[in-house]
Amino acid sequence: MAYVMNPELKKEYAILAHSGIFNLTNDSSSQASIKIMLYPMYRRLSCGQGIIASAFVLGQIPVYFPDKYFYGFKEFSNNDSTLKVYNLQIAQRVWFYDMFNFSKKFKQKAGKSLLNNYYKTNGDAASMEMY
């Protein structure tokens, strides 16, 4: 069981819930073995040159933007705390026919990427300058 100390970060909380890494609880009085403090997600945009070709043909050519999302949280267990920061690489496809579908699946895709990164690093925190 894990208790998230700041569930008001709704997007970050939803991503953590979709990842399935922890069994989350909303009860602050529970004796959860792990407490988690979420940090706001940071997005680094990729190059946007591909949109020029797509705009030229009125969106008939799909374009992929491999944006980087930095997801971080601090994990408190007993008297120990560990900062964990992960680079979630999620490619966004921009195309006339499915331009409105990506945002509906973002949290699920980010959760899968977080799960993959979490198990790939075996719990080791990735270093990042922004936290």
Question: Which residues are CB-contacts of 83 (< 8 A; sequence separation ≥ 6)?
Answer: 72, 73, 74, 75, 125, 131
Instruction: Check whether 129 has a pLDDT greater than 60.
Output: no
Q: What is the pLDDT of residue 10?
A: 94
| Distance separating alpha carbons of residues 104 and 29, to the nearest angstrom | 33
Domain 2-120 belongs to what topology? Double Stranded RNA Binding Domain (3.30.160)
pLDDT in tens, 15-24: 999 999 999 9
Tokens 């719990």 correspond to 123
Higher per-residue confidence, 62 vs 22: 22
Mean pLDDT of 91-98: 76
- Which amino acid makes up residue 26? N
Sorted by where each begins, the domain ranges of the chain are: 2-120
Tell me what pLDDT residue 104 has.
64
* 3-state SS assignment for residue 36: strand
